[in-house]
């Protein structure tokens, strides 16, 4: 197999999670070429990890479709402020709430604050995640495994549990899983494990909520150009991100966000629940 070509300039960020403002080139996450049609007019959404990357594109896409949005983020205040500015430029309301969703007390407070700001809740996007590279499975530290599970799947439990009392008939929950849930990744065993758990969580919750007429679906992105990449991989691997995809490039957040808009819109996906969409650059997966 030929060596993967470089798709981006070499770069690395020491902090986790990464910062979109430091990436070169910056991700396309502003939905600048997206043409809306009022699919989400009057709807109210929470997007975790909404400060940058896929979460930013989803939040802006929702706003362009007519929704007010609350974004939850960890400590990426500059990125979150820019996302809020872009949403408000669409003529919609936005609030940014900082904290760790892996803490169930914060998750509960954040959802309550978001619901007060929004005046209700119709859409929940569970998108926040972290990942850490480890070449040897036996060397993965206990604290890393616990941290990854706390953010990626337990945080999803906490936020969803807090949001459910506010979601009524016609509401939508959309979870971010990953291509790694289907293909695996030897360098991301703990991360891939959480993403597999999210698939099971999505399918199970969809069955639990079907009688309440709340739809639950997921999106499994492939290699997307987001701050998680330079914050996780070294400069050489970051430069080759996405080269192994069938399309031989990483995807952009703007190319992923329409999947979430589709699943959030009752006019488009009213008969879809318990399913996963796969914007991954052409890789065929089952499930």
Q: Which residues are catalytic?
A: 191
> How far is residue 183's CA from residue 89's CA, in Å, rounded to a whole number?
39
Contacts of 182 (CB under 8 A, 6+ apart): 220, 285, 286, 287
Q: Among residues 136, 127, 245, 238, which one has the least CA distance to residue 183?
A: 245
- Whose structure tokens read 């040897």? 136
The arrangement of strands across the sheet holding 68-73 comes to 94-98, 68-73, 44-48, 123-126, 172-176, 215-219, 276-277
Q: Among residues 274, 268, 265, 255, which one has the least CA distance to residue 62?
A: 265
How wide is the angle at C-alpha 152 spanned by C-alphas 9 and 155, nearest 5°?
Answer: 135
CB 48 within 8 A of CB 101: yes
């Amino acid at each position: 197999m030929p060596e993967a070509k470089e798709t981006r300039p070499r770069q690395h960020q020491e902090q986790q999670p990464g910062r979109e403002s430091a990436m070169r080139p910056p991700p396309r996450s502003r939905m600048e070429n997206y043409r809306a049609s009022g699919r989400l007019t009057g709807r109210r959404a929470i997007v975790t990890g909404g400060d940058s990357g896929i979460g930013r594109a989803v939040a802006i896409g929702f706003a362009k479709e007519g929704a007010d949005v609350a974004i939850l983020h960890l400590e990426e205040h500059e990125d979150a402020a820019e996302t809020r500015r872009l949403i408000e430029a669409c003529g919609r309301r936005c609030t940014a709430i900082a904290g760790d969703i892996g803490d169930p007390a914060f998750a509960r407070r954040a959802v309550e604050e978001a619901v007060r700001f929004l005046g209700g809740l119709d859409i929940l996007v569970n998108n926040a995640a972290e990942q850490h590279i480890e070449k040897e499975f036996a060397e993965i530290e206990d604290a890393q495994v616990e941290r990854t599970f706390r953010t990626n799947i337990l945080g999803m439990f906490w936020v969803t549990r807090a949001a459910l009392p506010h979601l009524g008939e016609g509401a939508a929950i959309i979870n971010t899983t990953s291509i790694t849930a289907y293909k695996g990744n030897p360098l991301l065993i703990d991360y891939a494990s959480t993403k597999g758990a999210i698939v099971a969580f999505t399918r199970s919750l969809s069955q639990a909520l079907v009688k309440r007429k709340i739809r639950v679906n997921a999106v499994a992105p492939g290699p997307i150009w987001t701050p998680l990449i330079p914050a996780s991989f070294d400069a050489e691997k970051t430069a080759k991100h996405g080269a192994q995809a069938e399309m031989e490039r990483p995807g952009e957040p703007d190319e992923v966000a329409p999947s979430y808009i589709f699943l959030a819109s009752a006019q488009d996906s009213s008969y879809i629940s318990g399913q996963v969409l796969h914007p991954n650059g052409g890789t065929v997966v089952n499930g």
